[in-house]
Amino acid sequence: MAKKVVIDAGHGGKDSGTVNNGIVEKDYTLKISNYIKKRLDDLGIQNSMTRTTDELLDQTTRPKRAQSFYGSGSDVIVLSNHLNAGGGDGAEVIYSLRNNDTLSKKIAKELENAGQNVRKYYQKRLPSNSAKDYYYLLRNTPNNETLIVEYGFTDNSNDANLIKNSWENLAEAVVKAIADYVGVPYSKDISNYYIVKKGDTLWSIAKNNGTTVEKIKEINNLKSNLLSIGQKLLLTNNTYTVKKGDTLYSIAKKYNTTVNNLKSVNNLKSDLLNIGQKLTIK
Ligand SMILES: [Zn+2]
């Protein structure tokens, strides 16, 4: 079953969250959530938001709201966006006791690629009952795949600057990780997609674009030949998987592009690559 995403903007209303260095957490979590929503829409990943305005959601309402869209199945990712405070620096991802670390690890890796250091991705247990999650949203959204992303510390000046100047890059990093995790082809540029029109078939699209049905199915992870109007497809395989010994320079040379172009298209803030990392080639 295709995965759905519930995007939760932390805090809201009279609960501002942390406030430091000119950053009000509830406002940034909403900005980040709105950005992620737009981008998941671009990629054709079904999603909803727990709040779209400056609304207070109490500890009962928030988990209920999160499960009101797609239910309580494990095919629903609940992504709760937060900023941290308390004298540290870097991002954190907290995932629930019922889940493994696959998605959290991908998010951590993409945040690092976007220039933010990641302290850790981890699980946290309730002191009074170690069988339960520490955070209520994780505890009270079974059996969803619920996780909290803390993008950085508002009381750390480097993090505060990164959040203020590059929050869209950090949000995009999470979008990329989710796309990879749910098996939807990722591109930062919406103009790379072919949008299915009325009357299209895989066969007609393949024929008109000089490719094959098999290739389109492979690139887009399609299990059947059924298409829906508005569905977004990538028609060329522009993903390169980093192998041992690769550098941005060697990959750029191979694909007739530049290191700067690769970095911009893939939202990379450093030259470091990880084996297995997927890069979009344009
Ligand atoms: Zn928070």
Rounded Cα distance, 45 and 112, in Å: 23
How many angstroms does the Cα of residue 84 sit away from the middle of ligand 1?
A: 6
Q: Residue 86 Cα, ligand 1 centroid: separation in angstroms?
A: 12
For residue 78, what is the enclosing H or E element?
strand 76-84
CA 40 – ligand 1 centroid, Å: 22
Q: What spacing in Å lies between the alpha carbon of 18 and ligand 1's midpoint?
A: 7
Residues 145 and 37 in one domain: yes
Global pTM exceeds 0.85? no
C-beta of residue 187 within 8 angstroms of C-beta of residue 280: yes
pLDDT on residue 230 = 84
CA pseudo-torsion sign 189, 83, 64, 79: positive
The answer to whether the Cα torsion of 165, 170, 171, 172 is positive or negative is: positive
> Sign (positive/negative) of CA torsion 51, 54, 55, 58?
positive
Cα–ligand 1 centroid distance for 16 (angstroms) = 9
CB proximity list for 195: less than 8 A, separation 6 or greater: 230, 231, 232, 233
d(CA 70, CA 146) in angstroms, rounded, equals 13
pLDDT tens digits along 111-159: 999 999 999 999 999 999 999 999 999 999 999 999 999 999 999 999 9
The reply to whether 204 and 82 lie within a common domain is no
Residue 107 Cα to ligand 1 midpoint, Å, equals 18
The answer on 127 and 246 residing in a single domain is: no
Spacing, Cα 119 to ligand 1 middle (Å): 16
Distance from the alpha carbon of residue 64 to the mean position of ligand 1, in angstroms: 18
- In this predicted structure, the answer to whether residue 237 has a pLDDT above a threshold of 90 is no
Q: Omega into 221 within 30° of 0, i.e. cis?
A: no
- pLDDT at residue 43 above 80? yes
Q: How far is the CA of 43 from the centre of ligand 1 (A)?
A: 27
Ligand 1 centroid vs 29 CA: distance in angstroms? 8
Q: How far away, in angstroms, is 7 Cα from ligand 1 center?
A: 14
Output the CA 11–ligand 1 centroid distance in Å. Answer: 6
Give the end of a domain, one of 133, 161, 182.
182
**Least confident residue range of 45-49, 85-89, 255-259:** 255-259
Same-domain status, 112 and 139: yes
32 with 142, same domain: the answer is yes
What is the residue range of 121's domain?
4-182
pLDDT surpassing 90 at residue 7:
yes
Cα 85 to ligand 1 centroid, rounded to whole Å: 9
* Rounded Cα distance, 109 and 281, in Å: 19
CATH code of 131's domain: 3.40.630.40
**42 CA from centroid of ligand 1 (Å):** 27
Chain segment 57-86, per-residue pLDDT in tens = 999 999 999 999 999 999 999 999 999 999
* 33 CA distance to ligand 1 middle (Å): 13
How many other CB atoms are there within 10 angstroms of residue 96's CB atom?
A: 24
Tell me how far apart the alpha carbons of residues 41 and 54 are, in angstroms, rounded to a whole number: 22
- Residue 195: give its domain's CATH number: 3.10.350.10
80 and 146 Cβ atoms separated by less than 8 Å: yes
d(CA 142, CA 144): 5
Gap from CA of 178 to ligand 1 centroid (Å): 21
- Provide the pLDDT for residue 2: 83
How much distance in Å is there from the Cα of 15 to the middle of ligand 1? 9
- Ligand 1 centroid, distance to 267 Cα (angstroms): 25
Distance 161 CA to ligand 1 centre (A): 18
Last residue of a domain, one of 182, 208, 226: 182
User: Does residue 166 share a domain with residue 55?
Assistant: yes
CA atoms within 13 A on the CB side of 143: 5
271 and 224, same structural domain?
yes
Count of domains observed in the chain: 2
For the stretch 194-212, pLDDT in tens is: 999 999 999 999 999 888 9
Please check whether residues 251 and 267 belong to one and the same domain: yes
Residues 18 and 141 reside in one and the same domain: yes
Q: Tell me the C-alpha to C-alpha distance, in Å, between residue 127 and each of 96, 133, 235.
A: 15, 9, 51
204 and 176 within one domain: no
Say yes or no: 131 and 214 in one domain. no
Residues 59 and 166 in one domain: yes
End-to-end CA distance of the chain: 30
Q: Where a domain ends, among 148, 182, 216?
A: 182
| pLDDT bracket for residue 232 (50, 70, 90) | confident
| Predicted confidence band of residue 239 (pLDDT cuts 50, 70, 90) | confident
